[in-house]
Structure 1
């Protein structure tokens, strides 16, 4: 499954791009690897070529063009654009993809999509994670040195003129991804849908955080094993991955949006909605994580669809239980038949809610997530209790246990205030944190 990635750079030294492509670098620090004598270590295998550079080096050709047109002279200017096409590791053994063939595909893609730009194309046979995925690096100078025809992703006349700069817009990325998919289709390679997002979206930062965390965990486990001590879990999970697992678990156990938000509160996760989009705030953060950064499975539309499916599945289960034949029910034992008693559809009268002792739970070691959930639970329990007392006319201090007096049901504002005051003194288990 080929993937497509873009990185913009403000580095004025174009030689650094070529150095990264041709010499070995540390995958975590991105610093060049040196041998015992302090010299750069060349990469073992790669293919490299240039476009629109003439007989000059890529870095020299780019700097000459920038001086000619007076562009890319400021520090904040984007000097180059780096595009990466990564092919599926299975393309090698299954579809005959080689480094030379991948280099040809990269050169063709560069000529078709970035005409008029000076570019360097380099193919590596493996990735950072030693997975065997062949990938092509395409680095172009942001400045265009020739007039080019209007391509489908261009929306301004300046996008075709020499002396103007390349813009990587959202429309351009959509077009490039579609072209990569078409490229793989014509070459008979594996490909996934790059245009409709992914269920789990892993950003570049999260990818490297997972890599570094896994390396640190492996190092720690090796030290523990050498000492004969028990090791920790062998798989490192980022905070975003833990949040994804919590959301999935909660979503499988919820039927409404209210259930979903309340269940997440038990883990300390708060659901926020802005402009029709969901975001999730964890206890250790002040800024919520948007669903877009987690994946398409966690946005509002996907959550509502999952909740609707859960509700339909619950209704189907209830219907199948209610449809048990009468003779089968009568022939079963009394205990078994009671388990199949249909649920009453009539609304039940509100009962007195059971409160949660938040202080005791905090003393037991419960975290802030549980405390938030307990706070909302106590508020609902207090509401149910108050409605029950009000319905049964138990808030009046002069209410007799033997029955109710109709003449005393109509109270003045002063008596109503006395009743409320009496309720708080008579029922001290109310959580006063809400008042």
Structure 2
């Protein structure tokens, strides 16, 4: 912790220490204070910090768009972030660094609570929760934030190429396969006619040893051989010969998987942003592919009228939001259930101490000796009042059974959620492409599509 905290408080990065703010700890001695709280935690609870197997403290890094915020405001927002994330129950300090082009915060908070009776436990989705809170604070302060982070569906970061997905320029091999499909779709009468069609499309043809045919596109350094091992099943020289002679269907006619429907690119706006001629050529090809994929999706889905498409998109979005609300409701009930179970356990453990406090006629000496237990007892009672609002306290077995039932409902809802989300993404994207094609997109619709 000392090494990490020293790095965070580096005077060269924090304007001589001016950009450091703390909550209920001294940054210069925070490492010792955090360790002391863990010794108190052991004394109060009887549980010991496991060496090399437990968390001493947590760190949040929060960055801002270059030139958009002052160091002082960044430090203020970092302090607000720390306070709202820890809810004032954990000591923390914020160090704002200005040594990089982007101003950023290092927020360090103790894993042991201020009352030394419990610890912060990382939970599934905590990174997403941190991001959502930071985004909300940035929105409240009129700052930029990343609306669509580069994440896998499983929550792991993608590398740039994966993030681009179908929006990336196709490889030379992908372009070659698409052109082969296009030329074969014209049903050439001979292999020579097929090769001539490829030449007309801008490909250079070479006949190698053993009669192996290779192609090279403009800007490509090496030829690509017409082999299944290189291009995949159906794109070997013998496969293409069979299609030309009518002995086999082309890859387009063999039930190849449909292309993924992505949003069409606004070429003009991208050109204004400084993209070159090569990008313009790729973008036109990309748009043609996406319109073909959109048409295929609409035909397969039976959405041949715009009103049908609009109704389907609205319905899919409504189903998605209903399921999202259902899942949030279940998660809220699970959270209340877990809070009640924890309060019941705390109440049972600390009730003897409080009864002793009453028997001692609320003695200050007794309170000093059992302050942690009594505080925990009162906190449990406060939870009962807040959650139950006068209703009868449920049995622990009933709460456990309810939690299992809620967990099962959540799993079932998530299965439907994933399917509904996929359907919504496809139909909304297809509608956006049709709107773009027919000039139906205005500024408000653009905002809705982005959302």
Q: TM-score range by the shorter chain?
A: 0.3 to 0.5
The structure carrying a bigger helix percent of its residues is: 2
Please identify the structure whose Cα radius of gyration is greater.
1
* TM-score scaled by length of structure 2: 0.38
TM-score normalised by L of structure 1: 0.39
